[in-house]
Chains A and B, each alone.
Chain A
Amino acid sequence: MMTLINTFLADKGIYMLTLLLLSLGVAGVIVCNNYMKKLICMNVMQVAVIFFFLCLGQKSPGTIPVAMDTVVKASDYINPLPHGLMLTAIVVSLGTTGVGLSLLLRIREKYGTIEEDDMLRREELMTRVEKNGGKRD
Chain B
Amino acid sequence: MRKTITIILLITAVFVPFIAFNVLPVIGDPSSAPNTHVSDHYIEHAIDECNSPNMVTAVIVDYRAFDTMFETTVMFLAGLSVIMILANRPKKKIFAPSSLKRFRESGHPIYKTVNKDVMISIIEPVILIYAIYVLFHGEVSLGGGFQAGALIGMTYLLDVMVVKREKPIFNLPKKRAAAIAGIGPFIYALTGFISIIGGGLYLEYNKFPFPIHQAELHSIGITAVEIGVTIGVAGTIITILNALMERISFDDDIN
Binding site for B on A (CB under 8 A): 10-12, 14-16, 19-20, 22-23, 26-27, 30-31, 55-62, 64-67, 74-75, 77, 79-84, 87-88, 90-92, 94-96, 98-99, 101-103, 105-106, 108-109
Contacts and interface: CB of A to CB of B under 8 A. Distances in A.
| A-side interface mostly | helix
B28 interface: yes
A56 B27 CA distance: 7
Given A87-B56, A102-B86, A59 B35 contact: yes
A91 B9 CA distance: 29
Contact of A79 (B39, B79, B144): B39
Contacts of A83: 56, 59
Contacts of A96: 78
B71 A74 contact: no
Contact of A87 (B10, B144, B240): B144
A27 B9 CA distance: 8
A86 to B, nearest CB: 10
B110 to A, nearest CB: 30
A95 B74 contact: yes
| B-side interface mostly | helix
Given A83-B56, A92-B74, A59 B14 contact: no
Interface of B: 2-3, 5-6, 9-10, 13-14, 17, 21, 24-30, 32, 34-35, 38-40, 42-44, 46-47, 53-56, 58-60, 64, 67-68, 71, 74-75, 77-79, 81-82, 85-86, 90-91, 94, 141-142, 144, 146, 150, 233, 236-237, 240, 243-244, 247-248
A67 B28 contact: no
Given A10-B27, A99-B82, A102-B86, A74 B44 contact: yes
A59 B29 contact: yes
Nearest to B44: A74
A109 B91 contact: yes
Contacts of B17: 15-16, 19
B232 to A, nearest CB: 9
B37 to A, nearest CB: 10
Nearest to A22: B13
B14 A94 contact: no
Contacts of A101: 240, 244
A95 B44 CA distance: 34
A88 B57 CA distance: 11
Contact of B79 (A82, A98, A105): A98
21 contacts: A15-B21, A16-B17, A19-B14, A23-B13, A56-B34, A58-B28, A60-B27, A65-B54, A75-B30, A81-B39, A87-B56, A87-B60, A87-B146, A88-B146, A91-B71, A91-B75, A91-B146, A92-B71, A98-B240, A99-B85, A109-B90
A92 B146 CA distance: 11
A67 B29 CA distance: 20
B34 A57 contact: yes
Contact of B27 (A11, A92, A103): A11
Contacts of A90: 146
